[in-house]
Chain A
Amino acid sequence: MGAGHRFGRFLRSAWGSLRASAVPYTEWEARELEHLFALLALGSAAGIPGPPTLLSLDLLPFLEREILVLQAGTRRAGDPWGDLFSTFDVT
């Protein structure tokens, strides 16, 4: 096995490892951004400063996923450390 081949294997393995650790983080980030979006878009219903109410009403028909994400977030809120540790694969 030549040095070039070994270097190639090293790069593939490093890429795989980086990808494995980056994917959960990106997933977590995407979910939290969706969560934040839902909170802001429907803020007036949640009692936090939000956009004009009729703008929220305009968006509401397209926000089913965001409402479900919010509901899931509410369930996870009881165990924030568990959520964080599972995201970063801490056992």
Chain B
Amino acid sequence: MFLFTGKGGAGKTTCAAAFSLALAGADRQVLLVSLDPAHNLGDVLDLRLGAAPREVAPGLFAMEADLERVVQEKTREARRLVEEEYRYLSVASLDPLFSILGQAPGVEEQAAGEVLLDLRDSCSRRGRILVADLPPTGQAWRILSLPALSLRWARSLLDLRRKVLDRRRTLFHVLGEETPARDMEGRPLPLEEDQDPVACRLREVAARNEGLARDLQDRSAARVVGVALPERLSLLEAARLEDRLRRWGIPLSALVLNRAGRDLSLKEWDFPARKPDLVLENLDREPRGREGLAPLGRELKRLFLE
């Protein structure tokens, strides 16, 4: 898995697209996804893309995730389950809650995290390399820290749930059938973790996020690539990206300096982060389409695969 991010306009989409084309050209099966709500992957490839993967070159599938739709679908699914499961509270009475949850700040980054989880699983089943064009730095580090954060929450809530189940079991052992741990219809509440739908769901969430959180910390499974321009602000942001990711144990695998031009003397630049792993001259400021992206792709492929 390769994940490209950087300051807005640094060329992360261009690099992700060029690299994906080069991988597909080397007989790899690749899925290229844009997780930026302000997509321009289709513009770079000179193609119209949708939320479903489309084969844009032999072996290369590309898509622009519809994050708003992901949130809507998750809300709709939760509403359907609430209608099925709830006996006393009506869906209508929970409308304000759905509205808060569906429009909460940061929910689009979380939707991007969900898409990443799904695509990681599907790519691993199909033997595809996943290349993600992430949003700019601030949103990207929130997406990348999400699996570890969700894992922490799921584990903490599961610990608390186990304590609830433990107290219920204590009451059952002391009082037997007279236990007060009953639902509104008088049926005994689940005592064991495997019978408790909340604990089961938390275990599923933890297992799902644990895999991605582990991959993101492992350079052989996932590579986060920072793309920066030879400008002070862009390089400072790359340094912050590396620092933020380090807090979650995620290494920045490579820093690519884009549009460096021919006359750049690296000594002239003050690198607040580490020195770039790859300097792209990229004289054509806006390469597009398969032909235009090919030279960039070759250099990126050399950095990562050779």
Which chain A positions have C-beta within 8 A of B106? 52-53
User: For the complex, what is the distance from the CA of A86 to the CA of B102, rounded to whole Å?
Assistant: 40
The answer to whether A52 touches B181, judged by C-beta atoms less than 8 angstroms apart, is no
Check B266 for interface membership: any CB of A closer than 8 A. no
**Could you tell me the distance in whole angstroms from the C-beta of B265 to the nearest C-beta in chain A?**
45
Instruction: Give the contacts of A14-65 with B (CB-CB under 8 A).
Output: 19, 22-23, 26-27, 29-30, 33-34, 36-37, 40-42, 44-45, 51-65
**Which residue of the partner chain, among B82, B87, B149, B160, contacts A61 with CB atoms under 8 Å?**
B82
Interface residues as binary, A53-91 with B (CB distance below 8 Å gives 1, 0 otherwise): 111111111111101100000000000000000000000
- CB contacts between A and B, total, < 8 Å: 109
Chain B neighbourhood of A61, CB < 8 A: 78, 81-82, 84-86
| Contact between B114 and A54, CB atoms less than 8 A apart | yes
A contact patch SS = helix
Number of residues of chain B lying within 8 A (CB) of chain A? 51
Chain B min CB distance to A1 (Å): 28
Q: Which residues of B contact A (CB under 8 A)?
A: 71, 74-75, 78, 81-82, 84-89, 94, 97, 100-102, 104, 106-107, 110-111, 113-114, 146, 149-150, 153-154, 156-157, 160-161, 163-164, 167-168, 170-171, 174-175, 180-181, 183-184, 189, 197-198, 201-202, 205
Complex Cα distance A64/B91, Å? 11
6 further A-B pairs in the complex, CB-CB below 8 A; given A51-B150, A54-B74, A62-B85: A23-B171, A34-B164, A44-B104, A53-B101, A60-B97, A64-B86
Enumerate chain B residues within 8 angstroms of A51, measured Cβ to Cβ: 150, 153-154, 157
Q: How far is the CA of A67 from the CA of B163 in the complex (A)?
A: 18
Q: Is the CB of B201 within 8 A of A62?
A: yes
Interface size on A, residues (CB 8 A): 33
Q: Please state if B84 and A64 are interface contacts (CB–CB under 8 Å).
A: no
- Closest beta carbon of chain A to B165's beta carbon, Å: 9
